[in-house]
A and B are shown apart, each in its own frame.
Chain A
Amino acid sequence: MSSHREAPEISKDPVADSTDVYAFVSPDKPGFVTLIANYVPLQGPPGGPNFYEFGDDVLYEIHVDNDGDGHADITYQFRFTTRIRNDNTFLYNTGPILTLDSPNWNRQQFYTVTRVVHGHSTVIARDVPCPPCNVGPLSTPDYVSLANAAVHTTYGGARVFAGQRAEGFYVDLGAIFDLLDLRPFEQLHAQYGLDVFTKPAPGVNATNQLNVHSIALQVPVADLRRNGWNGTDADDPRAVIGVWTSASRQQVRMWNKDHGEDVNSGPFVQVSRLGNPLFNEVLVPMVRKDLWNSLPPSDDKLFAQYVLHPEVANLLPNLYPGVFPNLAALNASKKPRADLAAILLTGIPSGLIPGFQNFTGSTQADMLRLNTAIPPTAKPSIFGLLGGDLAGFPNGRRVQDDVVSIELRAIAGVTYPLVDDSFTPDAAANQLDDGVTPEDVKAPFLAAFPYLGVPYDGFFNPS
């Protein structure tokens, strides 16, 4: 998955598990950038009576680096508080929830947002209510109104939202983790001599009809750029920001058997991180994933070797014999994948793609790099930069971008000509995908903030 359960330790702590980060210039609100960080993966919609929620004991953060050093210059911190209205019921709600202050809603969450700039903190939203989970037609009969009411406007027209959303990341997990068996090409897979597959098959979106919890921000673009720059020149270094999210827990956690709850103490330490999708998931070896989750992007030179010589690039020619001969030759040459390092660790410098750059300097740091001076595309391509759409991944990431296919194709060699124009990618590399698209997400994406679809309700899902 993008980063769902991607490391051994965080897979046991879903409340703090960052799953996806999105950063894009808002298509419906010029001059504003939207940042979304998702947590609490793979929610089955009927999961009551204790429906999913953020952790009151987790510090959630969205970070922005605007000077290319891999350290946060601006951080938005989110802290949650849960309140119970009725001590005498086991129910999440005792009647329909029609408003965010409904007396029928027994377990509410509120959050406070603090903006930290170079150590100086400002609370920009306090005690903002989250919407409830989407329970069903009797409990949450007008969910859209509840969710809309939970969009909070703060300084300068900025908006925040925190609550349940439909999972928008689409991927064929079952196939990918069955030894990288991509269903559209499965007849070409070596199959270890088992001869299970004889013809192509359509992909299956493993995250369809599941929910997630989103923290979403929409802020004026100048608020994120270095020194508040407000220009429009996409070639200017100040146009580029690096974005990642993290979750932290207090260092000591002890079960208080007298009260039946955790007691936490000590400073917050990072337990989850996410910038580019799939970075920790498919590049970093399992034994180092927990370490990666604990570190800031500025330390990512420790992991650069896994970008320069990615395991998946070596797997593809072996799993699909004869399909990737040029990639096999590139692997055999031991040449470092400078193309992937540019995409994931430093940004793409000017001069490689006409009209585009998202270079942040020589510091190797996994951040989602967004050139904020590139306007949204009228007709986006889900393949982003690979589809000729300069406003899509890996220039930031939009909710509909097909990051699995983009990264698969890049690893398969499609982007290597950026650094070596004598290299010809294999014909199959440009067609590589897992067979799922935004059409395989049942809940439609929204055209406006917070962009991810209305969460699936627990009555009709799964269906």
Chain B
Amino acid sequence: MSHDESATAPSEGTARPDLSRRRLLAGAAGVGVAVVAGSAVVAQHVSSTAQPTEQGSTDGPVTVHVRDARTGTIALFQGERRVEVTDRQLAARLTSLARG
């Protein structure tokens, strides 16, 4: 059996509503969102079976990992979900904010 349930990577502008660019930027300005730029550890391999069946809430803080500011690759984590977006502008803005 094989069922990889990891989130797919929507293209720019297609991020899911609860992980919207607007909300993300608001959070990055300090409203309940943790920003982790370039230092968060992200596993290279996602188990195809390791997904709990009772999904956790999608409420709660969003963690942002700017994986590659140059290409604009950003991973967003909330609850038990992970979404990857590509947005160079957003990545640059987050990186700038992280530098203070």
Contacts and interface: CB of A to CB of B under 8 A. Distances in A.
A267 B80 contact: yes
Contacts, number: 102
A59 interface: yes
A63 B78 contact: no
Nearest to A273: B47
Contacts of A296: 47-49
Contact of A59 (B52, B61, B62, B79): B52
B34 A248 contact: no
Given A59-B52, A252-B36, A269 B45 contact: yes
Interface stretch (B3-11, B21-29, B66-74, B85-93): B3-11
A14 B32 CA distance: 31
B31 interface: no
A16 B85 CA distance: 30
B19 to A, nearest CB: 12
B2 A71 contact: yes
B20 interface: no
Contacts of A254: 34, 36, 63
Interface string A296-315: 10100000000000000000
Interface stretch (A73-81, A370-378, A428-436): A73-81
Contacts of A69: 1-2
Interface in B50-70: 50-54, 60-63, 65
A331 interface: no
A71 B1 contact: yes
Chain A interface main SS type: strand
A270 interface: yes
Interface string A23-61: 000000000000000000000000000000000000101
Contacts of B78: 265-266
B52 A251 contact: no
A114 B3 CA distance: 17
A118 interface: yes
A294 B44 contact: yes
A263 B45 contact: no
A252 B63 contact: yes
A250 interface: yes
What is the interface residue range for chain B against chain A? Answer: 20 to 34
Q: Which of A59, A116, A266, A298 has the most CB of B within 10 A?
A: A266
A59 B55 CA distance: 12
Contacts of A295: 45, 47
Given A248-B47, A294-B45, A296-B49, A267 B82 contact: yes
Nearest to B60: A265
Interface string A97-123: 000000000000000101010110101
A179 interface: no
A296 B1 CA distance: 11
Q: Which of A77, A114, A298 has the most CB of B within 10 A?
A: A77
Contacts of B61: 263, 265
B39 to A, nearest CB: 11
A246 interface: yes
A123 B54 CA distance: 9
A267 B81 contact: yes
A35 to B, nearest CB: 16
Q: Which of A252, A268, A294 has the most CB of B within 10 A?
A: A252
Contact of A252 (B2, B45, B77): B77
Contacts of A267: 5-7, 46, 50-51, 80-82
B53 A266 contact: no
B37 to A, nearest CB: 13
A194 B60 CA distance: 61
B40 interface: yes
Contacts of B45: 269-270, 291, 294-295
Which 3 residue pairs are nearest across A and B when measured between Cβ atoms? Answer: A270-B47, A248-B50, A121-B53
30 contacts: A73-B1, A77-B52, A77-B53, A114-B52, A114-B54, A116-B53, A119-B1, A246-B47, A248-B47, A250-B77, A250-B80, A251-B42, A251-B43, A254-B36, A254-B63, A265-B61, A265-B77, A265-B79, A266-B63, A266-B81, A268-B51, A268-B80, A269-B45, A269-B47, A270-B47, A271-B43, A294-B43, A294-B45, A295-B45, A296-B48
Interface of A: 59, 61, 63, 69, 71-73, 75, 77, 79, 112, 114, 116, 118-119, 121, 123, 246, 248, 250-252, 254, 263, 265-271, 291, 294-296, 298
Given A252-B36, A295-B45, 20 more contacts: A61-B49, A61-B50, A72-B1, A114-B53, A116-B53, A246-B47, A250-B80, A251-B42, A254-B63, A265-B61, A265-B78, A266-B80, A266-B81, A267-B5, A268-B50, A269-B47, A270-B45, A294-B43, A294-B47, A298-B2
